[in-house]
Amino acid sequence: GENVEQHPSTLSVQEGDSAVIKCTYSDSASNYFPWYKQELGKGPQLIIDIRSNVGEKKDQRIAVTLNKTAKHFSLHITETQPEDSAVYFCAASINTGFQKLVFGTGTRLLVSP
């Protein structure tokens, strides 16, 4: 089955800096890659996603890149703010007619003022 590895497990940055979180997946059939943000005591919330026919997608301060050949994808957050502090999860899904996401182990991002 699919296996998703995520690193780093923790990331500390100063406000205004950029943050990059990287994930690799094992199954070349995976074709959907969302990123979820989980704040303390809350459920994960989708922040951005990318499909395998696209190499990069951007939404304001966040962007995701996908390298299908290398089977890895990354989340980029620019101009980080304290409210970006949370745990971020990458995930991968194969089109089997329904969504079966396999999540990474998460990255705890801490943005210091």
Partner 1 sequence: EAGVVQSPRYKIIEKKQPVAFWCNPISGHNTLYWYRQNLGQGPELLIRYENEEAVDDSQLPKDRFSAERLKGVDSTLKIQPAELGDSAVYLCASSLAGEYTGELFFGEGSRLTVL
- Which residues bind to partner 1, rule: CB under 8 A? 4, 6, 32, 34, 36, 41-46, 49, 51, 89, 91, 93, 95-101, 103-106
Nearest distance from residue 3's CB to partner 1, in Å?
A: 12
Nearer CB in complex with partner 1: 62/101: 101
Nearest distance from residue 106's CB to partner 1, in Å?
A: 6
Nearer CB in complex with partner 1: 51/58: 51
33/93 Cα distance (integer angstroms): 7
Short-list 96, 82, 105, 99, CA closest to 36? 105
Nearer CB in complex with partner 1: 42/58: 42
66/52 Cα distance (integer angstroms): 7
H or E stretch including 74?
strand 72-77
